[in-house]
Structure 1
Amino acid sequence: MSHVAVREQRGEPAVERRNPQGPRADRTDRTDTPAAIGRRVLRLRTELGLTQRELAEPAYTPAYVSTLESGKVRPSEAALRHLAGRLGIDYEELTTGRPAHVAAGLRLRLTDARLALATGPTADAAALFSLLHAEAVEQELVGEQAAALLGLADCLLESGELADAQSHFASVERLLADEPLPRRVPAIRGRATAHLLTGELRYACYLLESTLDELNASGMPDPDSLLLLYTASIAPYMDMGAHARAAQAAELALALAPRVSDPALVAGMHRGVARTLIAEGRIAEADASLAKAQELYRQLHIRTELAHCHWMRGYVHAQDGDLERAEHELRMARDMLASKRAALFTEQVEVELADVLRRRGRSDEARALLRPLLRPEQDAGALRAGRGAVHAGGAHRLLGLIAEDDGDTASAERHYRAALPLLQESSAAGDLADLCRLLGDLLRRLGRVEEALDAYRTGLGHRAAPGTTTLGPAPAAPPMM
């Protein structure tokens, strides 16, 4: 079963409803109303062949049991525990109609589904999460519904179905609306990541920053949630050119790490911090930070995140001029992501791999890698606005450079101009400024000076004050700092 078929209906995925507990778990019985509890007591007593007196004694009267079975009285907890003991079932099952082991079993299988997502093809994990969500709905287990939807959303994120991922993350937030904010943070982080991948960098920053402010204002900030949010904010800050704010988020994440016991969160922090170290030219430190993350992900068998470490190490080596090692790391990342069928991430790595191939003098290989990524926009797998916009712009930029190398100025200009709106809409300031420089240089060589000046002005406008024109005040530091 493919998770592509799972779609939103009334705010939640439409999945097949099943009744795994059989006739005893009829939906009309699975409530805690007096009438439902009364019907349940009557049915269970009858199945056991007990009289009302035998069920009631020694603590209660037959008349009380009769009143209870007719739904005319809400039994106390003490009464329910007495009746459950006499009926030979758990208190929870008598209260809800749901055996106590059901929730534990679902949680165990949700852990298995998470492992499947970490180690195998995304579609297989999505099928598991979909089935588990159906069971959680059937059993009215809200927490497990949220966990299954969160898993489905993560699957959709990996496969590049970003609109559906956003919708699923939002559904998790609605399900947990009455829970403490830290319970909703993974869904908020996921929704922000989905917006980042569509190219909505400013909105991604808004989601993360507003949640950080709310969490810090609560007076009891949760270190795990803070680390997750600060780490997630590094990528959109860097893509927007707000390097100082990214460095501040990295510094706060590093300070929080000793308070966090989850190794996956710590690994994610090391990976995020590496981006700020790269921007500062601290290549050796960035590589060391990525090596720490890589080792943790390897120990945890989290293949997608491990692939991201290879991806970023490839970028580090490319920045340092070691193109052979860069190619090796990027190919490893691509192969790992492709094996998991993480389509969007695979395509993004291929753009960076094409850049390395071009710099190694293998432009034909780079071109062959890039062209399929920019197939017509009606193709659901194409890089485009709303799906990998920054990398779509990067692919056009690279094809423009290759065309310039070949002396095909018309194709170069066409690709540069195709990249412009993609990067403008996504607020990727640094990439946009570089693209405007390339376009301006090309137009100037062609003698089109006024057009070249317009391109330069556009680039300078985005380079003047990175991040300051599109972001409000930075979130306050946590009170624990």
Structure 2
Amino acid sequence: MDTLGKKIRTLRRRQKLTQQALADGIVTASMISQIESDRATPSAALLQHIAGRLNVDLSYFESDLLDKSDELQNYRAARSFIERGFYEDAIKLLKTLSWPLSPQFKAEVVYNEMANCYLHLGQLEEACAMYESVIQIGYEKNDISITVHGYYHIGTVLRRLKRDRVARMYWQRAAELLQQNPDIQMPVSVKIHANLARIYLDEGNWQRARQAYEQTLQLANRFGGSFDTAKIYQGLSCALMQVGEFDLALAYNDSAITINGAADNRKGAMRCRINRGIILRVAGRHEEALAYMLSLRDTVSDKEDLMMVAILHELALIYWDLKDFDSLLTVSDMALRRNHVDQHIEAQLRLLRAKVYLHNGSIEFTQREIERGRRLIPSQQPSSLWYEFQDVKRQCWLLSGREQDVLTECIAEAEKVISEDKTPKNRNISA
């Protein structure tokens, strides 16, 4: 179907008029060019002049003008709804635009606006579809900036949907595009690499996490701005700890503490201080870690459940390494009595307590902690923590003379792995 601009161009060419001749005395030739390419919409008065020059009645164009005017009016109304927070109304109006969009609209802008509305409405899948369209537009226009921003935004939505591997794929594509086009400088690259680093950290890919955090720091220094450098330092310190570079990890972590302190970010600083104790423990500096965490505990208000639980949890891990099992039971009991305990932390504490009771030969208490801990862990997709509970349970069975139960369960699990045609990873199904 011909647009208003195409109809005018066709008539002009049939009459062998130049754009300058059509424009003469009315508007500029440049305006005629924009109208013919549908980048501008003529007023009713201007269209009347053009129709007269082309020897057609105004009615020949009126329906096209009305359509374009209605769409523009709807778009402006949608923008007004967005500004006032009426996102459902905005979506309804944006959907009335004819697709593919008229050249008077920037398709990537409309898609981004629709995605923004869907995000505010909590419709994350629909938002992802809009960002996919942004990415497609970016490739069609060969516009790296549009494409990279599309990759970044869809990754953040997928992260909210807990589809981290897919989010990582999109952010990796964005990073690759930027690497292939080094002349293009985009501050969003800092966030892209920071997000990649965090996912690598969550996945246990320590070396890649380290590399991504180091690259994030370089980009943050290049672009300046208000990037959360403390979080970058903290993430880098975690990655360095996991690869055994403890002194460097402590240095970066201390820098994060300093930055958070200067910004009066007490919670951020406290998380980094707890992280310092973790680094000391993993480095094998247990006595130093213990003294540090005990002093830290004295600085936290008893009303701060989350921080206190985190400190008590770390103390329990230190006492386990020091084989001070009585102290472990004491601090873990204090943590479990708090009002707000994260399920994963509670499960870890229950596992530690089960191991202590097993070590002491207290089968009844071991079984109680196993039952309480396993209820906190989804068994549909067993984690390493779930398998640790399995191992403690089997050791408990062996201690109570239930060797046949151990054998039966191990055989059943092995058969399940074989039937699913999977190779067990990080699993210990031996007795």
What range is the shorter-chain TM-score in? 0.5 to 0.7
What is the percentage of aligned positions where both structures have the same residue?
9
Match of 1:391 among 345, 363, 369: 345
TM-score scaled by length of structure 1: 0.49
Q: What is the TM-score normalised by the length of structure 2?
A: 0.54
What's the offset of the Cα at 1:247?
1.7
Matches within 5 A, 1:272-287: 272-287=235-250
Structure 1 residues 216 and 281: CA distance shift in structure 2, 3 A: closer
Q: 2:195 aligns with which of 229, 241, 266?
A: 229
Distance in 1 (alpha carbons) for counterparts of 2:197 and 2:380: 24
1:287 is displaced (CA, Å) by: 2.0
1:268 aligned to 2:231?
A: yes
1:192 aligned partner, one-letter code: R
- In structure 2, relative to structure 1, the CA distance for the partners of 1:169 and 1:434 (3 Å cut) is same
Q: Which residue among 244, 251, 259 is the counterpart of 2:219? A: 259
Q: Does 1:355 align with 2:322?
A: no
**SS across alignment from 1:185:** helix
Tell me the residue number matched to 1:158: none
Change beyond 3 A, Cα 1:449–1:329: farther
Determine if the alignment matches structure 1 residue 248 to structure 2 residue 228. no
* TM-fit CA distance, 1:182: 3.3
Match of 2:370 in 1: 416
**Structure 1 letter corresponding to 2:316:** D
The match for 1:367 among 333, 336, 341 is 333
Contact map agreement 2:234 2:253 (CA 8 A) in 1 = yes
Q: Which residue of 1 aligns with 2:76?
A: 96
Distance 1:270 1:177 in 2: 32
Alignment CA distance shift 1:94-1:235 (3 Å): closer
Q: 1:356 to 1:278 in 2, by over 3 A?
A: same
Letter in 2 for 1:275: C
Between the aligned partners of 2:153 and 2:332, the Cα distance in structure 1 is 37
Q: Which residue of 2 aligns with 1:37?
A: none
Do the aligned residues in 1 keep the contact of 2:236 with 2:252 (CA within 8 Å)?
yes
1:294 is aligned with what amino acid? I
Aligned residue identity for 1:270: Y
Q: 1:396 to 1:454 in 2, by over 3 A?
A: farther
Deviation at 1:272, TM superposition (A): 2.4
Structure 2 Cα separation of the partners of residues 271 and 304 of structure 1: 13
Contact 2:398 2:406 in 1 (8 A): yes
Deviations 1:301-334 (A, max 9, x none): 6666545434423422443321232355578789
Contact 1:351 1:370 (8 Å CA) reproduced: no
Q: Name the CA distance, whole Å, in 2 between partners of 1:330 and 1:146.
A: 45
Which residue is equivalent to 2:133? 178
In 1, distance between residues paired with 2:291 and 2:257?
20
Could you report, residue by residue, the CA deviation over 1:71-105 in whole angstroms, capped at 9, with x for unpaired residues? 74549x9xx9xxxxxxxxxxx999725899x98xx
Cα offset for 1:231?
1.4
CA RMSD of aligned residues (A): 5.5
Q: Secondary structure at the match of 2:132?
A: coil
Structure 1 segment 461-480 matched on structure 2, within 5 A: none
- State the AA in 1 paired with 2:352: L
Q: Distance in 2 between matches of 1:228 and 1:136?
A: 35
What corresponds to 1:22 in structure 2?
none
- What is the number of equivalent residue pairs in this alignment? 324
What's the secondary structure of 2:227's corresponding residue? Answer: helix
Q: Distance in 1 between matches of 2:226 and 2:302?
A: 25
**Structure with larger RCO (C-alpha < 8 A, sep 6+):** 1
Quote the Cα distance in structure 1 between the aligned partners of 2:291 and 2:392. 26
The aligned residue for residue 31 of structure 2 is: none
The one-letter amino acid paired with 2:174 is: L
Following superposition, the deviation at residue 227 of structure 1 comes to 1.0
Q: In the TM superposition, what is the alpha-carbon distance from 1:253 to its structure 2 partner? A: 3.0
Amino acid at match of 2:313: E
Report the residue type matching 2:76 in the other structure: T
Q: Alpha-carbon deviation of 1:337?
A: 7.7
Equivalent residues of 2:216, 2:232 under 8 A apart: no
Q: Pairwise mapping of residues 300-315 of structure 1 onto structure 2 (< 5 A)? A: 305-315=268-278
**CA drift at 1:409:** 2.1
Give how far 1:356 is off: 5.2
Q: Please say if residues 437 and 455 of structure 1, whose CA atoms lie closer than 8 Å, have aligned partners that are also in contact.
A: no
3-state DSSP of counterpart to 1:264: coil
SS in 2 for 1:398: helix
Sort the Cα spacing of 1:382 and 1:210 in 2 relative to 1 into closer, same or farther, 3 A.
same
Indicate if the aligned counterparts of 1:393 and 1:419 stay in contact, CA closer than 8 A.
Answer: yes
Please give the alpha-carbon distance, in whole angstroms, between the structure 2 residues aligned to 1:194 and 1:323: 38
Write the deviation string for residues 175-227 of structure 1: whole angstroms up to 9, x where unpaired. Answer: 433333434535524643663xxxxxxx53x2244224433554459632541
Task: Report Cα offsets for 1:9-60 as digits up to 9, x if no partner.
Answer: xxxxxxxxxxxxxxxxxxxxxxxxx9xxxxxxxxxxxxxxxxxxxxxx9969
The 3 A distance-change label for structure 1 pair 256 and 217 is same
Amino acid at match of 1:214: R
Distance 1:303 1:187 in 2: 32
2:197, 2:209 within 8 Å by CA — same for their partners in 1?
Answer: yes
One-letter amino acid matched to 1:325: Y
Deviation at 1:437, TM superposition (A): 4.8
Superposed displacement of residue 290, structure 1: 1.8
Relative distance call for 1:437 and 1:143 in structure 2 (3 A) is: same
Amino acid in structure 1 at the alignment position of 2:215:
A
